[in-house]
Chains A and B, each alone.
Chain A
């Protein structure tokens, strides 16, 4: 905060010295401007003082408060306050020593949170190791354990060999007796590695299962009721409002402006192969097409929201759709969108 202050009389003296006018004139000038600003605030609610800034009346609404001593509820009446904003030139002049500085991005908490899933993926590999101790240990066991601690990577190199050996053991119905001897010797190594293996083998098994189950979100016909928007209709049918461009895509002839629905309009709603949060590739392509249609519609009416819809499709990185519409998308918009970081939360 400021330490020193200058009096009004001193200010008048200074201005009089600089301009060569009489002190009385300057005094009258300043008091008259103060008088005029009050008049202007009363009349219009704002006053522009060239070179200094703008005064404005701001209305604060009436609100309820409490008496801190008794706890009673009091109604605090609304009031006006006089606000002042300095002119841009003045602000620049005062901040000229900091003008070369710019805001910098700090690597914040968000990126640390993103790093966690990688750590989790390592944990399951460590957890299956304890069951190994249940297997009957041969006498030479403790020595081997120590070796593994020193060289934790070598079992991975031996993996393919062990798999081949296992295949030989289990496929031909136990004709070979020598393999059984080998089993006893290598039992430890093998069993440890077997327990790591199933994780890798399970994953490809589970993925196809998810694909086979098709949660079809049923589409159909819908007549628009009063108070409905595309967002609410999509919320009713898909349980997610974000997917409304998918509905808009199917009804380009019916709906001219995506923000405006006419009551009684008949809208056909496309069905989805997957559920929101677990959409299939085809669904995402359809929805991306809807997003681009919305972008084009907003672009025609110079709506600033248009860029958001282009950004979503760009981040999804679906090249087929981008190629299909490449003639109608502005290149300047694409460059703008490329600079924006982050990832859309719609999936």
Chain B
């Protein structure tokens, strides 16, 4: 299901215009990324799962293309942990 389909369906169900729905979704994703995940806070959405960000330090790894060892820089990774209800549904 694409993003535009979701927006269409939401506007039908909630009785709001598509522009309004777009604005609300945009600001909500902004809050989730800027205020929650970026500050290392997790968020559980019922019936879906948990979103969280964790830190992965720098590490050494082998690059088979160049045939050499590389030092990879640290980074943060966003992780989704599916909830039990969604796990059981798609078993």
Contacts and interface: CB of A to CB of B under 8 A. Distances in A.
Contact of B38 (A4, A5, A41, A94): A94
B55 to A, nearest CB: 9
Contacts of A35: 47
Interface residues of A, number: 69
Contact of B1 (A1, A2, A19, A36): A36
Contacts of A51: 25-26, 29-30, 33
A268 interface: no
Category for how many chain B residues contact A = 35 or more
Most chain-B CB neighbours within 10 Å: which of A5, A31, A341? A5
Contact of A2 (B35, B41, B69): B41
A171 interface: no
Most chain-A CB neighbours within 10 Å: which of B27, B28, B70? B28
Contacts of A329: none
Contact of B42 (A6, A49, A98, A109): A6
B75 A49 contact: no
Nearest to B5: A40
A1 B70 contact: no
Contact of B40 (A4, A103, A106): A4
Contacts of B90: 41-42, 57, 80-82
A49 B40 CA distance: 21
B10 A36 contact: yes
A81 B91 CA distance: 7
Contacts of A47: 1, 6
A341 B1 contact: no
A6 B68 contact: no
A221 interface: no
Given A48-B3, A84-B80, A106 B45 contact: no
B31 A93 contact: no
B1 A40 contact: yes
Given A79-B91, A93-B33, A110-B68, A30 B28 contact: yes
Interface of A is mostly: mixed
B25 A8 contact: no
Contacts of B35: 14
Contacts of B5: 40
B37 A94 contact: yes
Contacts of B10: 29, 32-33, 36
A46 B3 CA distance: 11
Nearest to A58: B90
A217 interface: no
Contacts of A157: none
B43 A6 contact: yes
A335 to B, nearest CB: 17
A116 to B, nearest CB: 17
A336 B43 CA distance: 46
Contacts of B19: none
